[in-house]
Amino acid sequence: MLLSRLRAAVLGATGLTGQRFISFLHDHPLFKVALVTGSSQSAGRTYTEATNWFIEGTPPESVGGLVVSETRIRPLLDADVDVVFSALPSDVAGPIEHQLASHGLPVFTNAGYHRMREDVPILIPEINPGHLGLVRHQQYNGGYIVANSNCSTSGLVFGLRPLQRYGIRSVTVTTYQALSGAGRSGVASMDILGNVVPYIPNEEHKLETEPRKILGVLRDDHIEFADFRINASCVRVPVLNGHLESVVVELEERVSVETAQEEFSTFSGAPQELHLPTAPTHPIVVLTDPDRPQPRRDLTTTQQDHGMSVKIGRIREKDGLLSFFLLVHNTIRGAAGASVLNAEFAAAKGYLPVRGVN
């Protein structure tokens, strides 16, 4: 018996995050894109015809000829898929993902609808691999839902996890978030060109709560949230990709710049140990130039990190406070790439079905 790639459905495949999913999955060793869904306007057309491709390159040939289905339960179940990746808007995603899990499908979602459910992990395998066990407590017929975090949270937790051993008392974070975080048409040009908008709806609440769940402790069927406070301010800036974050951490134990650099640069986790296909060799890359990281200079993806590494620089220590800047690729580590890595980790831990061929 040989193992065959699992058949994957990508929901919301024509949008910006959906395109990232397609880019990561089209030649993946574990998954094969078998179904793509979109709006009623896209349904019935081939993926290439229906998609205004916005990211690097062109739509992959292996997916370009697939006919887009409308995002409804019946076509998904009739398509005989093994795993679902969701790039749907949160309000649409919730009930659809629930129904798919109820029909026995594993769902890896970028949407925020289920993130704060007590039995749904916000999984980042380098940070909280044990939280995957929460899915055993979900009341579905063999299916489950695994969420990845908000795009800014995905970077912040990499700046906090290596410092947790020193006792985090409080965190103050200001984010400078790229336009792509709002989707293909999320911010009007007249609102953002030559401007900075110091408000992103619901973003500060997510950034103040999600990291505490991710960095919390699994207690059987629930997460005991990490016991520190986060104060967040979120700003939209005229940058295409990459969320830059200014982070100030108050610690119980004083940490020098040199110690912080060592903690960040040597940090790794389960995806690196397992050599998962989407895992970067170094999940955190420390930059030592005083004016780094910068989205335009440091976000460029390489064959080594796939855009999945978080860059940290300008590390400073003063009066017991540790300060630094970090940069995360919001549509890769903060969205599609994170979900794909979650599915790879679930497969490695035996949480996905095995498809055999003679």
Catalytic annotation present for 234: no
Pairing status of strand 243-251 against strand 321-328: antiparallel
Distance in angstroms (rounded) separating the CA atoms of residues 147 and 202: 17
Query: Which residues lie across from 36 on neighbouring strands?
Result: 10
Distance in angstroms (rounded) separating the CA atoms of residues 189 and 11: 28
Which letter, b or e, does each residue of 224-241 get, where b requires 16 or more Cβ atoms within 10 Å of its Cβ?
A: eebebebebbbebbebeb
- Catalytic position from the list 243, 282, 306, 329: 243
- Quote the distance between the C-alpha of residue 9 and its chain's center: 18
Torsion of CA 134, 136, 139, 142, to 10 degrees: 130
Distance in angstroms (rounded) separating the CA atoms of residues 83 and 52: 25
Contacting residues for 107 by C-beta, under 8 A, at least 6 apart: 83, 84, 86, 97, 100, 101, 143, 144, 145, 146
Q: Which residue has the tokens 């019946």?
A: 74
Contacting residues for 340 by C-beta, under 8 A, at least 6 apart: 21, 24, 25, 28, 31, 85, 108, 278
- Catalytic position from the list 114, 151, 306, 329: 151
Q: Which residues are catalytic?
A: 151, 243
